[in-house]
Amino acid sequence: MSFNKNWNIDSYRTEYESEEHWQLRRRFMEVHKNKFPEDELVCLAQVFTNVEFMGCKYPDETMRLVGELSQDVAKEFREGRAKKIKRTFVKASDAAEARAKGSGKSRTFSHADREGGPPRKQLGVSLLSGLPFGNFILMICPGYRESIAVSGRRCGVKVEEKETMTYAEKRVELFVNGKLAGCGCGASIKIAKQNAFETAMAKLQEDCFTIKPKPNPDRIDITKNNETILCNLKSSDVETTVDPNNIGYKIMRKLGWTGGGLGSAQSGQKNPVDYLIKNNRRGLGNESGDINKSYFKTMLQNYVRSDDIRDLFFDSNFTKDERAELHGLAGTIGLKSVSSGKEPNRHLVISKKDISFLQILQEILFNRNPMYINKYEVTAPVSKRNEFPDHLAFTAPAT
């Protein structure tokens, strides 16, 4: 099969891609430029760097192909990184020795060191640089006021209301990171505040990156039937939940996948969750049927160690006491847990604690991580939409 080999590899570098990330991806494309069509090789190179840097997983056939193609490239990279780590370790040891002798300098940490600060250097130029509200990233919540307040807390940015009163009406000004974001007037302070937050939402969505949780993301259903535990993915149809431009989607299509399960009989799960437990595993509880604490602790620890961000949904067959045990286990290893519904349909949802806004932007804008794309929608500020044309505006929530 003939294909065009006269194309520019460097045109595929993104503005915010780190030097290390780009050089590895570039090297992969250089080595195999004459073996694959341009679009297929670009997809394979992205898959390779996602696996190397992020630990992402793809269908077995894709993983085998990328593994074979990347052997020499990965070996060079890992040897270079090992030498770099060794040099860094020596420098760190020298610095530690200097501190022990009293000659080291202390460091003061600012908001930039937390999630609301600018991205770390691996993004190259700061993603948030030049934006009028600085480190503020807007997370859409049920109402305008909650959206802005929650976002301010998560980003470490001050949100301040200032009330004034004229002869005829009340006036409220809303400041975000010291800059006026919106103002509103009304016959009462309540109405003035509502108007101020409404105008601020419109302004912030124009000038900030905005994240909106999707209403029905994939989840992992964990069901109990006597002593049997089943762990399955609850997902809507892949054709409507996966962006056709997604790198993983493209590469699976090129390898002949047309949707549905993987394997010759299409019996494989689209998104395997067997890292948590094996289906039909026995030994849930003791003779009285009580929950086996050690068993579920291992399950939750597996979840914590994974890069999976889907919620765990424990069905209503778990008893009140069992849900209480699971609440306790989740709390001890840093997970969130919430029970909802009324008996006999009450259920438990366990999830990872708030993921940093910057990580969400990184995974969606740069890594095109399917799990994050399934769970969140991101829009870019007006000033950066030329850089992110696939992330245009969506409708703000009602008050």
Predicted confidence (pLDDT) per residue in 143-171, tens digit: 999 999 999 999 999 999 999 877 678 89
- Does 269 map to a domain? yes
Q: Is residue 264 part of a domain?
A: yes
From first to last of its 399 residues, the chain has per-residue pLDDT tens of 678 888 898 888 876 567 777 888 889 899 998 888 888 888 888 888 777 766 666 677 788 888 888 888 877 776 765 554 344 334 444 444 454 444 433 333 333 333 443 333 344 347 888 899 999 999 999 999 999 999 999 999 999 999 987 767 889 999 999 999 999 998 899 999 999 999 999 999 999 999 999 988 999 998 887 767 778 888 754 433 444 555 555 555 555 555 544 444 443 444 466 667 643 344 334 344 446 778 888 889 888 888 889 999 999 999 898 899 999 999 999 999 999 999 889 999 999 988 899 999 988 988 888 889 999 999 999 998 888 877 765 544 444
Cβ burial 276-311 (10 Å sphere, 16+ → b, else e)? bbeeeeeebeeeeeebbeeebbebbeebeeeebbbb
Report if residue 121 sits inside a domain: no
**Domain for residue 81, yes or no?**
no
Which pair of tokens denotes residue 166? 């004229």
What integer pLDDT is reported at residue 119 of this predicted model? Answer: 37
Please state the domain count of the chain.
Answer: 1
Domain assignment present for 245: yes
Give residues with Cβ within 8 angstroms of 273, minimum separation 6.
Answer: 220, 231, 232, 233, 308
Q: Compute the 3-state secondary structure of the chain and give helix, strand, coil in percent, each to the nearest 5.
A: 40, 15, 40
Report yes or no: 135 and 178 within 8 Å, Cβ to Cβ: no
What pLDDT is stored for residue 273 in this prediction?
A: 67
Residue 332: inside a domain: yes
The helix/strand/coil state of 111 is: helix
Q: How many other C-beta atoms are found inside a 10 Å radius of the C-beta of residue 128?
A: 23
* Domain-located, residue 83: no
- To 5 degrees, how large is the angle CA 351–CA 208–CA 191? 90
Range of the domain at 254: 219-352
CATH number, domain of 248, equals: 3.30.1370.50
Residue pointed to by tokens 């109402």: 143
Evaluate whether residue 31 is within a structural domain: no
Express each pLDDT in 214-232 by its tens digit: 988 999 998 887 767 778 8
Query: Residue 198 has what pLDDT?
Result: 94
**What pairs with residue 280 in β-bridges?**
none
Neighbours of 41 (CB within 10 A): 22
